[in-house]
């Protein structure tokens, strides 16, 4: 297991700024919301690139881009993806 990932507490996707890459850790919310997120390919372990985080969030998953509302973004729990070089400097 990744020691750095284990030491970081997951936060809602809506907390991350534009340009960040994050890894999904879990999905919160009811069956309907979780089903919608799963149909978009947002599953635990997926890497999401935040394109725009002002109001409605624009995200990139693999080669697809989606716009999701901030309420839905609050239901996606994620941790930042960091490069080894950046983490070793800290």
- Rounded-to-integer distance, Cα 74 and Cα 40, Å: 16
Residue 76 contacts residue 27 (beta carbons within 8 Å): yes
Burial class (CB in 10 A: 0-12, 13-18, 19+), 42: buried
Listed by start position, the domains of the chain span: 3-82
pLDDT of 3 above 90: no
Q: What is the pTM of this model?
A: 0.81
- Rounded-to-integer distance, Cα 35 and Cα 51, Å: 23
Q: Among 2.30.30.90, 3.40.710.10, 3.30.479.30, 2.160.10.10, what is the CATH number of 3-82? A: 2.30.30.90
pLDDT for position 83: 55
What pLDDT, in 10s, does the model give residues 11-60? Answer: 999 999 999 999 999 999 899 999 999 999 999 999 999 999 888 999 99
Residue 49 contacts residue 59 (beta carbons within 8 Å): yes
pLDDT for position 36: 92
- Structure-token pair, residue 16: 């991350």
């Amino acid at each position: 297991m990744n020691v750095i990932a284990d030491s970081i507490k997951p936060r809602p996707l809506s907390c991350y700024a534009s340009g960040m890459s994050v890894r999904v850790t879990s999905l919160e919310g009811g069956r309907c919301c979780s089903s919608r997120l799963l149909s978009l390919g947002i599953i635990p372990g997926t890497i999401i690139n935040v394109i725009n985080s002002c109001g409605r969030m624009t995200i990139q998953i693999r080669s697809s881009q989606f716009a999701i509302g901030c309420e839905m973004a609050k239901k996606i729990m994620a941790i930042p993806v960091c490069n080894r070089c950046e983490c070793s400097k800290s």
